[in-house]
Amino acid sequence: MSLLKKSRRYSVFYFLSSLLFATQLQAEVYNNEQLQQIAVDFVSEHMPDLNTTPQISALPLDSRIPDRLCESPLNKELPTEPPFNRQVTVQLKCQDINSWTQYVHVRIIELEPVVVVTTSLTRGEVIRAEHLRLEMKPKQFVRTQYVQDESILIGSRSKRNLRGGTPIVMSQVCMVCKGDNVTIYASLRGLRIKTTGIALEDGTLDELVRVKNKKSGKVLNARVDGVESVQVNI
């Protein structure tokens, strides 16, 4: 056999070997957990920007589904464009000689912040920072009256007994409580006037309450704008 023929034979051999090796490098075996994670990652990449981070998880695949081989990158498709509903189905497709398709259902839960009480509070107790924490809860379970910023509650008082671990609503507290000394603010021709008064009734943020000016003795209708603070219009 001539040297040229041997050289050609070896070239063909190395070419086929390298082709087989490259194919083996691309081939991958997928189990259920991997497919579920691929679907979750794919949905996450296509989520629109939201104020909060959604909770994205895949519904478990049937445990009887065997591990599957694919010698090419998986094709991933979504049936709809974002924004998605609470559940979306991802199509994972192997388009080589193995030719298989798997649908993975992905659940999307939008979360919103809710202030909850960390420990039980008694009626009339002053609320401090350690009494509160912020938790993320599914949007569909968050009521409009739930407080979402714990800082506005610091220094207010509970109007009833509050159980630890429960969300807090504004109607359960008074920022201005009957009999409290309050600061009265008023704006007049660009000037901000400050005086003191006594609250004649309980009130919370943005509620109108009656307060008595300590200096003049006049009873005013004022809007609660913070803890022991009210605003009047002149």
197 and 149 assigned to the same domain: no
CATH number at residue 166: 3.90.1210.10
Instruction: Work out how many domains the chain is built from and give that number.
Output: 3
200 and 213 assigned to the same domain: yes
- Using pLDDT thresholds of 50, 70 and 90, give the confidence band for residue 5: very low
Domain carrying residue 133: 111-174
- Using pLDDT thresholds of 50, 70 and 90, give the confidence band for residue 22: very low
- Using pLDDT thresholds of 50, 70 and 90, give the confidence band for residue 18: very low
Cα gap 8→85, rounded to integer Å:
60
Cα gap 81→160, rounded to integer Å:
47
Point out the domain boundary residue: 156, 174, 192: 174
Higher pLDDT, 49 or 212: 212
Residue 14 has pLDDT above 80, yes or no: no
91 and 26 assigned to the same domain: yes
Cα-based distances in Å from 101 to 45, 74, 98, 182, 212: 21, 9, 10, 68, 74
For 7, the enclosing helix (H) or strand (E) is: helix 3-26
52 and 132 assigned to the same domain: no
Single pTM value for the model: 0.66
122 and 30 assigned to the same domain: no
120 and 103 assigned to the same domain: no
The arithmetic mean of pLDDT across residues 118-137, rounded, is 94
Point out the domain boundary residue: 52, 81, 109: 109
Of the listed ranges 20-24, 26-30, 80-84, 87-91, the one predicted with least confidence: 20-24
Of the listed ranges 29-38, 41-50, 179-188, the one predicted with least confidence: 41-50
206 and 167 assigned to the same domain: no
Residue 13 has pLDDT above 50, yes or no: no
CATH number at residue 221: 2.30.30.760
92 and 190 assigned to the same domain: no
Residue 9 DSSP SS3: helix
Tell me phi and psi for residue 86, to 5 degrees.
Answer: -70, -15
116 and 152 assigned to the same domain: yes
70 and 50 assigned to the same domain: yes
Residue 21 has pLDDT above 90, yes or no: no
Q: Which residue has the tokens 């008064």?
A: 197
Point out the domain boundary residue: 109, 130, 147: 109
79 and 170 assigned to the same domain: no
pLDDT at site 68: 93
- Using pLDDT thresholds of 50, 70 and 90, give the confidence band for residue 188: confident
Residue 114 structure tokens? 């809710």
165 and 191 assigned to the same domain: no
pLDDT at site 51: 67
